Amino acid sequence: MKKILILQNELSPYSVPVYNKIAEHYDLTVGYYLKDKSYGICNFHKKHFDYIETCSFVIVKGLKSYVSQFDLVSILPDLHIISYWSLLFMPHSFKITSWSIGFRVSYVHPYITNRKHVIADRLIQEFFNRCDANIFYMEKAKEFWKDTNVDMSKVFVAPNTTEVIPITIEDGNKKDFLFIGTLYKGKGIDLLLESFLKAVKVDGIDNKLHIVGDGEERNEIETFVKEHHMEDKVILHGAIFDEKKLAELFGISLLCISPTQGGLSCPKSMGYGVPFVTRSDAITGGEIYHITSGVNGVIYKHDIDLTSIIRDASLNREKYIEMGKRAQKYYYNKATINHMAEGAMSAFDFALNIK
């Protein structure tokens, strides 16, 4: 089996099922310099590196000598991680691929594929051109490079997703709303609570809002709930890592709502047959482009629209249940863990076969 090293900043639990799939075909090692957050069975090797961080740049110790044993190294093309991208400019016998969102995305540079290119983008472009293959999270990211010399024949898509437990959608159980994720302000939980409150107080909807997660906004949420006497309507579950319990909550939910951030909770929600709802300018790694609004999820423009969506879902359950069934069908046709692993392995095979 070919020896492959995937370099990341940390080992995420969401990535483990993908790495396990890849490890069925390659002798796989995942290298990282921050934390190992994985749990459960990992059928691949792990390598933790010591590092130095100075002026926001990272130098990974011992990487240059370590990588020589591999047939292929997959890097995170982050400008801050000098030791990763500098491999492209050193003599090497192994193949190199990148694996990333596909272009620079952050709070400062949101997922806008038609924004103006700056010097940093040109550096990333040079990285991609030096790689033997490049892996993007979503097809949408290709649009950013359409007027450049990035070779699209070397670009492969591994749709960014997460694992779910297969469930059957029971129409009669679906009645509530759900938020899942770390509780911090950037996700717009305050907007969700205000919209839900209006739907309850003004429209009199008889649904509950389940909030799964912990974080810095927990106290603010508890205060809001008490001030508005919503204890019987807003249920705070804390962080849940048991996938069976998460599946049960998705099983009773009409919508999964995250107003201003749409990450991996989007494909997870779709996999469980629940339409994902988020704002059109939500922070994302591209995952919201799994959604066709009004078909398998909802993308809205203005904050005032969210109350209307919650109200409509309460009054027209069947509409959103059918939307959820289409979301689940999409997930299994285009966005499973297998799709992600196969996209990455297509890039690996392509690079390994270059003479």
Model confidence, pTM:
0.94
What total number of domains does the chain contain? 2
Kindly tell me the burial class for residue 149, based on how many C-beta atoms sit within 10 Å of its own C-beta (0-12, 13-18, 19 or more): exposed
| One domain for residues 250 and 266 | yes
User: Each residue of 24-80: pLDDT tens digit?
Assistant: 999 999 999 999 999 889 999 999 999 999 999 999 999 999 999 999 999 999 999
Residue 355 pLDDT exceeds 90: no
Residue 186 pLDDT exceeds 90: no
Average pLDDT in the 325-334 region? Answer: 98
| One domain for residues 142 and 180 | no
Q: How confident is the model at residue 99 (pLDDT cuts 50, 70, 90)?
A: very high
| One domain for residues 155 and 47 | yes
Kindly tell me the burial class for residue 322, based on how many C-beta atoms sit within 10 Å of its own C-beta (0-12, 13-18, 19 or more): middle
| One domain for residues 185 and 91 | no
Which range marks the domain in which residue 96 is found? 3-161+336-352
264 assigned to some structural domain = yes
Query: Is the Cα dihedral 40, 42, 47, 52 positive or negative?
Result: negative
Under 8 Å between Cβ of 100 and 137: yes
Structure tokens at 42: 């990992």
User: Each residue of 166-177: pLDDT tens digit?
Assistant: 999 999 999 999
Residue 106, pLDDT score = 79
Residue 308, pLDDT score = 96
For 79, 250, 254, 293, 306, the CA distances from 175, given in Å and listed in that order, are 46, 10, 6, 21, 17
User: Each residue of 281-323: pLDDT tens digit?
Assistant: 999 999 999 999 999 999 999 999 999 999 999 999 999 999 9
